[in-house]
Amino acid sequence: MCGIVGFVQQKNVADNFPLEVCLHGLKRLEYRGYDSAGVALAGSAGFATDAQLENTIAIPGFKTQVRKKAGRLDNLEEEIRQHPTLPASVAIAHTRWATHGKPNDINAHPHVSNDNRIALIHNGIIENANSLRDELESEGINFSSSTDTEVAAHLLRRELGRIEAESAAEAKYTCDLTEAMRRIAVLFSGTFTLLAIDALNPEVVVGARHDSPLVVGVGDGMNFLGSDVAAFIEYTNQAIALGQDQIVTITPESIDIIDFDGVPQIGEKFEVNWDAALASKGGYRTFMEKEIREEPRAIADTLLGRIDPSTKRLKLDEMNVDEETFAQNMRKIDKIIIVACGTASYAGFVTKYAIEHWCRIPVEVELAHEFRYRDPIVNAKSLVISISQSGETMDTIMAVRHAKEQGAQTISICNSQGAALPRESDATLYTHAGPEVAVASTKAFVAQITASYIIGLYLASIRGNMYNDEVQNVLDELDEIPEKVQMLVDQFDSITRLADYYSDVESVLFLGRHVGYPVALEGALKLKELAYIHAEGFAAGELKHGPIALIQEDLPVFVILPPLDRPELHSKVISNIQEVKARGARVFAIAEEGDTTAIEHADIVFKRPKCPSLLAPLLDVVPLQIFAYALATAKGLDVDQPRNLAKSVTVE
Ligand code: AGP
C-alpha cells in the first residue's frame, strides 16, 4: 500500500532535480499511505572515479543522504528545509502505510546499511523477515528499526560485499547492485517491491517486484520508477509495466529487466492516457469531489470503442490467451463467480442481476478474502471475474490465483494500467475512469459496473443468449447514462446543503431491493468510511425480519426506489417506506422522475431520470456518494484520506 518513487539522471548533472521529482511523486502517491515519508539521494559528494572504484571498498564520505519523518509529507518537506540535502544524481522516495513497526521516524523508509552506502525502500510484507534478521544479527549487523524493510537493506549490503569480494578475487571490480538485488529477492517470502541505490554508483537505481506494483517511467537522459504511473506522470507518459518476479535496473540511458533467475526480460510498454492535470485536483477542493464530478466521463470513456468495427461485436481490452480459444471456453462455462472487495464487491453484486438476466447462468458474488478459504467449487467451466480499481488488492489477486489453480477461466476489470491483476488474468477489461486518488471509490465504482455490463453483454453475445441488435439496444441505453448521471451530479450543491442539517447524526440506514440492495450497501459503506458514523445497508424485504427494531424518531433512512416499470418491486418498497415512517423515521428516497407515490410518502426525494431498472444503480449511487461526502465535509473530516484507510490494500 505504500507509494514508491525512483529516479536517475546523468551523474555529471547532479542537482536538486532528483529531490524535486521525488517530492512531486510522493505528493501524487500520498493516497497510497501516509503514515510517514522519506527520501534517499546519492551522487552528491563528488563522484567515484573508475580508478577509485578499483579499490572495491566503501570510500569514506560516499554515503547516501537520507531524510525521513513520521506523519504527512509536509513533515518531510519541513525536515528537508531544516536539513537541506546536497545535489544528487539518483534518488528513491517512499510514503508509508505501516504494516511492520509503528509509523515513526525510525521505522520510516528509506532504510540504510550500517555504512550508509546502500539505501532501500519497500512496499509489501516480507513474511520471513524475522528469521533473516536473526541471521544478520548473528553476523554482527546492528538494527535501528523494527521493520522488515531494514532486513532487506542489510541483506542487500551483505550480498554487494560478497560480490565485490568474489570479483576482487577474480582481480576485476564489479559493483553489481543488480546481482545483489537478485540474490536477496529469491530469499524472501511474502510480497515486495524494493528500490535501492548505492552511494558508490550514483547512476543506477535497481528495483525488484514480487506481488507489489512497480512501473518504469521512460525519460530522455533520465528514467523513473514508481508504484504507479502517478509517480512520474508530469515528466513522461511513456511507461513499462514490470511483470512478476522481475528485477529492473535503470540508468540515465538504459532500462534493463531480468527475472529472478537472471534471464533478460522484455517489459510491456504502454502510453499513459492520463495527463498531469487529471492527476491533480483540477481546481476542486478535494479529489473526491473532482472524481464524483468525473463520473459521467468515466462511464462514457469506459464505453468507448467497445464494438469491433469489423465484426460489429464487443471486444475485451487485453487477452493473455488466444481470443478464439477464450471465446470457445466462454461458451462452455456453467457458472460465474465475481470476486472483489469493498466497493468493488458491490459493483459485482449489481452486475450479478444483469449477467444472470442476459446469460441465464448462475452468478455468485464472493468477497475475495473469503473465497479461497471456503474451498469453493471451481473448475474449467467456471468463469471468475475479478473487479479491482487498483489491480493490486492482494485479497483479490490471491482469489484469482486460487481460481486459476482450480482451472477456472479468468477475466479482470481494472482501472490501473500495469497493475498485477490483469497480468494474472486470461483477459482484462480496463475501466477508463482515469486516476482515482481519493481513498473512497466513486467514479471507479460506476465504471466497474459499466465494464461488468460490457462483459455480461460480451458473454451473452458469444454464447448466443442475445442477438447483436439486442446487445446494441443495451449499449444504446448505456450510452444515455452519462448524461443522466450528469443530471444527478448537477444536484451536488443542493445535496450538500441538505447534509449540513444532519452533521450531528449518529446513525443512518439504507434500504434497497433487487439491484437497489447493493446500492444500499455501497451507500452505507461511503458514510462509514467518510463520516465515521454507524451506517447499515439492508435488503428492504429484510426490514421486518429484525432491523425494523432500529427505527426510531428522526432516524434518517435512505430508500432506493425501483423504477416505475417494475411495479411488483416498487409497491413493496413503498410499503417499506410506510413501515419506517410509521415509526418516526425521516425518509430520503431516490426515485424516478414522475414517481408521485414517492413524493407522497417520503420526506425528501432525490429525483433521477428514467432508465432501465438494471442500469439504475449507475444513477442511484450518486446522491449517496454526494451525501456521504457532504456530511464528512460538514464534520471537518479529510474526505480524500480518511483515517485508518489506504487506497490500495496490497496486504492480505
Ligand atoms: C471503497 O470506497 C474502499 N476504498 C474500498 O472498499 C475499495 O473499494 C476496496 O479496497 C477494493 O479496492 P480495489 O478496487 O482497488 O481492489
Q: What is the pLDDT of residues 135-158, one digit of tens each?
A: 999 999 999 998 889 999 999 999
Candidates 11, 69, 352, 647; catalytic one: 647
Residue-wise pLDDT tens digits, 298-313: 998 898 877 776 776 7
The amino acid occupying position 441 is: S
- For the chain, report the end-to-end CA distance as a whole number of angstroms: 11
Q: How far is the CA of 651 from the centre of ligand 1 (A)?
A: 13
**Average pLDDT over the chain, rounded to an integer:** 90
Q: Which of 393, 417, 452, 525 is the best mutation target for the ligand 1 pocket, counting ligand atoms within 8 Å of the beta carbon and taking the most? A: 393
Give the distance (Å) from ligand 1 centre to CA of residue 239. Answer: 25
How far apart are the CA of 415 and the centre of ligand 1, in A? 11
Closest among 304, 361, 317 to 475, alpha carbons compared = 304
- Cα–Cα distance between 458 and 306 in angstroms, integer? 10
Q: Which amino acid residue places its CA nearest to atom 16 of ligand 1? A: 388
Please give the model's pTM, rounded to 2 decimal places: 0.74
Place of cell 475501466: 431
pLDDT reported for residue 388 = 97
Q: Report the sign of the C-alpha dihedral through residues 292, 294, 296, 301, in that order.
A: negative
- How far, in Å, is the centroid of ligand 1 from the Cα of 521? 14
- Report the pLDDT value the prediction gives residue 262, as an integer from 0 to 100: 94
The closest-lying atom of ligand 1 relative to the alpha carbon of residue 525 is 2
Between residues 572 and 317, which one has the greater pLDDT? 572
What atom of ligand 1 comes closest to residue 396's alpha carbon?
Answer: 16
Q: Using the 8-state DSSP alphabet, how is residue 648 labeled?
A: -
Residue 299's pLDDT is: 94
- DSSP letter (8 states) at residue 88: B
For 214-271, the pLDDT digits (tens) are 999 999 999 999 988 889 988 999 999 999 999 999 999 999 999 999 999 999 899 8
Under the banding of pLDDT at 50, 70 and 90, the label for residue 280 is: low
pLDDT at 100: 62
State which ligand 1 atom lies nearest to the alpha carbon of 416: 15
Per-residue pLDDT band for 171 (boundaries 50, 70, 90) equals low
Name the residue at shortest CA distance from atom 9 of ligand 1: 342
The verdict on whether 611 is a catalytic residue reads no
What is the C-alpha to C-alpha distance for residues 458 and 97, in angstroms, rounded to an integer? 39
What residue owns the CA closest to ligand 1's atom 8?
343
Ligand 1 shell residues, CB under 6 Å: 341-344, 388-390, 393, 396, 439-441, 529, 648-649
Burial label, 40 (beta-carbon count in 10 A; 0-12, 13-18, 19+):
buried
| Residue 175 scores a pLDDT above 60 | no
Residue-wise pLDDT tens digits, 79-133: 999 988 888 899 999 997 665 666 788 889 999 999 889 999 998 878 888 899 9
Atom of ligand 1 nearest to the CA of 448: 14
For 463, other C-beta atoms within 10 Å of its C-beta total 17
CA 54 – ligand 1 centroid, Å? 51
Confidence of residue 58 (pLDDT cuts 50, 70, 90): very low
Which band of pLDDT confidence, cut at 50, 70 and 90, is reported for residue 587? very high
Torsion of the alpha carbons at 339, 344, 350 and 353, rounded to the nearest 10? -20
Using the mean position of ligand 1's atoms as its centre, give its distance from the Cα of residue 647 in Å: 7
Name the DSSP letter for residue 205.
Answer: E
Give dist(CA 173, CA 367) in Å, integer.
Answer: 53
- For ligand 1, the distance from its centroid to the CA atom of residue 591, given in whole angstroms, is 27
* Contact by Cβ (8 Å): 652, 99: no
Please compute Rg for the chain using Cα positions: 26
The pick from 395, 429, 441 for probing ligand 1's pocket by mutation, whose C-beta has the most ligand atoms within 8 angstroms, reads: 441
Catalytic residue at 484?
no
Using the mean position of ligand 1's atoms as its centre, give its distance from the Cα of residue 143 in Å.
Answer: 35
Stretch among 76-90, 172-186, 404-418, 557-571 having the lowest mean pLDDT = 172-186
Q: What's the pLDDT score for residue 32?
A: 65
Give per-residue pLDDT as tens, 438-497.
999 999 999 999 999 999 999 999 999 999 899 999 999 999 999 999 999 999 998 998
Q: Pick from 521, 624, 649 the residue to mutate for probing ligand 1's pocket: most ligand atoms within 8 Å of its CB.
A: 649
Could you give all domains of the chain from N- to C-terminal order, each with its CATH number? Answer: 3-278 (3.60.20.10), 282-479 (3.40.50.10490), 489-639 (3.40.50.10490)
Q: Which residue has the higher pLDDT, 516 or 433?
A: 516
More confident residue, 420 or 11: 420
Please give the average per-residue pLDDT across 6-21, as a whole number: 90
pLDDT number for residue 49: 52
Kindly state the cell numbers that stand for 605: 426525494
Cis-peptide into 482, omega within 30 deg: no
Q: What is the pLDDT of residue 174?
A: 56
Which of 228, 338, 341 is the pocket-test mutation for ligand 1 (most atoms within 8 Å of CB)? 341
Residue 1 — very low, low, confident or very high, per pLDDT cuts 50/70/90?
Answer: low
pLDDT at residue 612, rounded to an integer = 95
The pLDDT of residue 188 is: 93
Q: Nearest residue CA, atom 2 of ligand 1?
A: 440
The share of the chain scoring above pLDDT 90, in percent, equals: 70
> What average pLDDT score do residues 516-532 get?
98
Q: How confident is the model at residue 168 (pLDDT cuts 50, 70, 90)?
A: confident
Of 2, 175, 341, 359, which one is the catalytic site residue? 2
Q: Which segments of 351-492 are extended strands (E)?
A: 363-367, 382-388, 409-414, 427-430
pLDDT class of 45 with cuts at 50, 70, 90:
low
Residue with the nearest Cα to atom 3 of ligand 1? Answer: 440
Predicted confidence at residue 183, as pLDDT, reads: 97
Residue corresponding to grid cell 498485477: 420
**Strands, sheet with 246-250, edge to edge from the N-terminal-most edge strand:** 111-112, 118-126, 190-198, 205-210, 246-250, 255-259, 264-265
Residue nearest atom 5 of ligand 1, based on CA coordinates = 342
pLDDT tens, position by position, 356-403: 999 999 999 999 999 989 999 999 999 999 999 999 999 999 999 999
C-alpha cell at 281: 485536483
CA of 131 to the centre of ligand 1 (A): 33
